[in-house]
Amino acid sequence: MRKHLNTFSATFLVVASMLGTGILTTTGGILSLVKSPTAALLVWVAGGALAWIGAWCYGELARSMPRNGGEATILRELFSPTLGEIAGWTSFVVGFGACNAMSSLALSAYLGEALPGLPINAKLVACIALLLVTSMHGLLGPLGLRLQTLLATAKFTMLAFLTLFGLYLTAPGLMAPAAATATTIAEPARQAAAFDAPWGLAMMYVGFSYSGWNAAIYVAGEIRDPARNVRRAMLIGTAIIVALYVGINAVLLSQLPASQLEGVRPVIAALVKHLFGTQASSVFSGLVAFALLSSLGVSAFLGPRVLATMLGWFGKDRVDENAPTVVNPRLIWMQLALSVFMVLTGTFDQILTVMGFLLGLFPILCIMGLYRSGRHHNGRSLSIARYVFAPLYILISSIILILGAQQSPNEVCIALVLVAIFFAARLCTRRLALNR
């Protein structure tokens, strides 16, 4: 692999990775947990700040380890090969395989909003979408990546337009008379839920929505001047998405009564219907469903690279550990099989909770790596990362996971069982590598 990603393309990869299913589906669930619209918006702001802090810390780690693999490479080098391989399997199966399953189910939900009179089998549509995108990457190669880029751009443009228009409507003194019918129906003020287990689960949902802030770390070996550009791409990309997510949720929570949002999955379709009417909502939902193919594409692009990196650690033909390994097309189809299995056997909320827990666990371990021997950081000063950002991230993330586990113990048990399975899978990784 050549170093074909500059700062702009790496930043776009981060934006495309973050711009996924969460923003389209989780606000209704978050509102049902924390009760108050103000509290729900606060959760989005806090989650965005936490993601940006995590991006800063990961950027420091990437300076000394500019190689593909993400958490797998970081934990393997700073702690132990076993922990790195478990993290690699978690990224491949949960971070990308399960994320694709989630995105495909969200695509089905929005397609149902676009075609309300047509009976749609959600799981069948999700599986077809997964097969389509995997074929695009497995068979079209670079052309598939270009198509994915166009889809991600279209999705960002639609959400940005909706956010700006909604902010125009809600800005004091700027509301046009013609838009008066789109104002919020008054309802009694709601009191936020007590800070307890539901808040932890809500933050896990938001954490999933912001997942992807570390996308550049997975292809660090393919980024030009990674010591500078990996962190820059993650910080800029995360800041862009945080601004978009907080803005669109401010519009959503101010324009629609909480009673119309609680528990609703396709929340953006509800917002468009409120602002522009039923017909516009159907058209917009169809466009969102089509654009969600880009979320599937990002995981199809990044996921196999994680497993390919692990295989390169054990392969007979490994020459240079610092060089990215070639991605075998079979790994792309392997990820497809995992995603289809999850679609057929799990529910949206189950997959979301399991993902939220595991995607919050391994970054904590990686950021703890900042406290390892200074030789890993080439003598650079890490005072801000070590004594300000890392303690904040570790403390807040740990509280979120503990509270989330109290709220959804069954799903957390499933997540821990998966970790045990990944420990066993590391043995299979070695065998697969030797048979490449």
Which residue range is the domain that position 410 belongs to?
Answer: 7-434
pLDDT one-digit tens code per residue, 50-84: 999 999 998 888 887 777 667 888 888 888 888 88
Provide mean pLDDT across the span 114-137.
82
Provide mean pLDDT across the span 406-410.
88
Residue 63 within a domain: yes
**C-alpha to C-alpha distance for 368 and 79, rounded to whole angstroms:** 10
Give me the residues paired with residue 5 across strands: 223
CATH number for the domain spanning 16: value is: 1.20.1740.10
143-157, 272-286, 332-346: which has the minimum mean pLDDT?
143-157
Query: What per-residue confidence (pLDDT) applies to 176?
Result: 39
Report CA-CA distances (Å) from 367 to 28, 79, 205, 242, 260.
Answer: 31, 12, 21, 21, 39
CB-based contacts of 245, cutoff 8 Å, min separation 6:
23, 44, 48, 209, 210
pLDDT band at 143 (very low <50, low <70, confident <90, very high): low
183-187, 236-240, 332-336: which has the minimum mean pLDDT?
183-187
Residue 1 within a domain: no
290 pLDDT above the threshold of 60? yes
Query: What per-residue confidence (pLDDT) applies to 206?
Result: 93
pLDDT one-digit tens code per residue, 31-46: 999 989 999 999 999 9
Contact, 18 vs 212, CB < 8 A? yes
**C-alpha to C-alpha distance for 170 and 184, rounded to whole angstroms:** 10
Query: What per-residue confidence (pLDDT) applies to 141?
Result: 55
| HEC letters along the chain | CCCCECHHHHHHHHHHHHCCCHHHHCHHHHHHHHCCHHHHHHHHHHHHHHHHHHHHHHHHHHHHCCCCCCHHHHHHHHCCHHHHHHHHHHHHHHHHHHHHHHHHHHHHHHHHHHCCCCCCCHHHHHHHHHHHHHHHHHHHCHHHHHHHHHHHHHHHHHHHHHHHHHHHHHCCCCCCHHHHHHCCCCCCCCCCCCCCHHHHHHHHHHHHHHCCCCHHHHCHHHECCHHHHHHHHHHHHHHHHHHHHHHHHHHHHHHCCHHHCCCCCCHHHHHHHHHHCHHHHHHHHHHHHHHCHHHHHHHHHHHHHHHHHHHHHHCCCCCCCCCCCCCCHHHHHHHHHHHHHHHHHCCHHHHHHHHHHHHHHHHHHHHHHHHCCHHHHCCCCCHHHHHHHHHHHHHHHHHHHHHHHHHCHHHHHHHHHHHHHHHHHHHHHHHHHHCC
pLDDT one-digit tens code per residue, 255-277: 888 888 888 888 888 888 888 88
Residue 257 within a domain: yes
**Residue 346, Cα to own-chain centre: how many angstroms?**
19
Query: What per-residue confidence (pLDDT) applies to 240?
Result: 94
Query: What per-residue confidence (pLDDT) applies to 380?
Result: 59
151 pLDDT above the threshold of 80? no
Give me the residues paired with residue 223 across strands: 5
**Token reading at 284:** 């917009």
Counting Cβ atoms within 10 Å, is residue 232 exposed (0-12), middle (13-18) or buried (19+)? middle
pLDDT band at 241 (very low <50, low <70, confident <90, very high): very high
Residue 2 within a domain: no
pLDDT band at 6 (very low <50, low <70, confident <90, very high): confident
Query: What per-residue confidence (pLDDT) applies to 345?
Result: 85
**C-alpha to C-alpha distance for 398 and 380, rounded to whole angstroms:** 27
Query: What per-residue confidence (pLDDT) applies to 355?
Result: 82
Q: Please indicate whether residue 378 or residue 204 has the higher confidence score (pLDDT).
A: 204
199 pLDDT above the threshold of 50? yes
Query: What per-residue confidence (pLDDT) applies to 244?
Result: 94
Query: What per-residue confidence (pLDDT) applies to 84?
Result: 83
Residue 79 within a domain: yes
Q: Please indicate whether residue 303 or residue 143 has the higher confidence score (pLDDT).
A: 303
**C-alpha to C-alpha distance for 323 and 302, rounded to whole angstroms:** 16
177 pLDDT above the threshold of 50? no
Query: What per-residue confidence (pLDDT) applies to 249?
Result: 93
What is the total count of domains within the chain? 1
Provide mean pLDDT across the span 158-180.
66
pLDDT one-digit tens code per residue, 368-404: 988 875 544 555 557 788 889 999 999 999 999 999 8
202 pLDDT above the threshold of 80? yes
Query: What per-residue confidence (pLDDT) applies to 178?
Result: 37
